A and B are shown apart, each in its own frame.
Chain A
Amino acid sequence: MASGRPILSSTSLQVLLYLNCWYFAAYFLAESLMFIYKGLLLPYPSDNLILDVVLHLLFLCLESLRIFYGWKGNLCERSLATSVSLLLLLPCLALAVYFLLLQTFVLRLEFILTAVLLCFYGLEFLLGLVTVSLFSRSKMY
């Protein structure tokens, strides 16, 4: 197969997105169970509990969208989809910082799990920037 085009998709970003997808699934499950635990045991004002649960569900939607756009954008070498994924990283980062620091009650386990998620975000942001610049530098069409 004669093909002079080099492959621009970033393998590291793809690996990170794949592992992030699995990690976020486990994180969402763990957080849901912890919200049930906290709701039963700790003295929550009901407004705060509803806010936290709604933000948790919003996190799921935003993160799924972000990973989808990043995945497809990286594989199809499209800079628009990858930059949408980078833009979606900002609200996801805000939500992660909320769950890390500003929640009504923060468990130690939540702190550690969210910190690992933030490590993923940092690495994906750097790799995403490099990948978008690579894609836009060599536009074939």
Chain B
Amino acid sequence: MAVISSLVPARFLTITSHLVIVITIFWSRDNNVKAGLPLDFSLEQYDKEDANLVVGLSVTLGLFVIELGGFFSGVSMFNCSQGLLSTAAHASASVALLFFLFEQWDYDICWWILAICSVLPALVEIMLCIAVFGMKKKPL
């Protein structure tokens, strides 16, 4: 199908861009943590919220591993609906996280972005894996 030749690389590039931005935020999360704390914060508060953000980002990375595993093993590489959903979700996540990084949004927002744009493709990926490996359907 003609659409396959452009959907697969588009999906891969949006997943990679989302991954790159998540790693960048991991590296420079200081500003985002400070944005959500009151002006005179204590070190324990900072550590608590920092741990919160680290957990959120780690969950995102774990969901990435699931999605990339499904993609590279061929289970969902040629599945059009998963490709479309994944491309749209990761593209919107990339834009949202770019704003998160540059505008120094509150760290709580990362949980919303995670829920909508990382959990959804990963859930569909897990369902596809179960369909292919468990119920022996053809991966298309």
Contacts and interface: CB of A to CB of B under 8 A. Distances in A.
A22 B12 contact: yes
A34 to B, nearest CB: 13
A76 interface: no
Interface in A1-34: 15, 18-19, 22-23, 26
A112 B20 contact: yes
Contacts of A109: 20, 24
Contacts, number: 25
A108 B24 contact: yes
A22 B9 contact: yes
Overall SS of chain B's interface: helix
B41 interface: no
A24 to B, nearest CB: 11
Interface residues of B, number: 12
Contacts of A112: 20, 23-24
Contacts of A116: 16, 19-20
A19 B24 contact: no
Interface string B3-35: 000000100110010011001100110000000
Interface of A: 15, 18-19, 22-23, 26, 108-109, 112-113, 116
A14 to B, nearest CB: 12
A109 B28 CA distance: 11
Residue from A18, A23, A112 whose CB has the most chain B CB atoms within 10 Å: A112
Contacts of B13: 22-23, 26
Contact of B16 (A15, A18, A23): A23
A26 B17 CA distance: 10
Contacts of B16: 23, 26, 116
20 contacts: A15-B72, A15-B77, A18-B9, A19-B9, A19-B12, A22-B9, A22-B12, A22-B13, A23-B12, A26-B13, A26-B16, A108-B24, A108-B27, A108-B28, A109-B20, A112-B20, A112-B23, A112-B24, A116-B16, A116-B19
A26 B20 CA distance: 13
A109 B27 CA distance: 10
The 4 closest A-B pairs by CB, nearest first: A22-B9, A112-B20, A112-B23, A19-B12
Contacts of A26: 13, 16
A35 to B, nearest CB: 18
Nearest to B10: A22
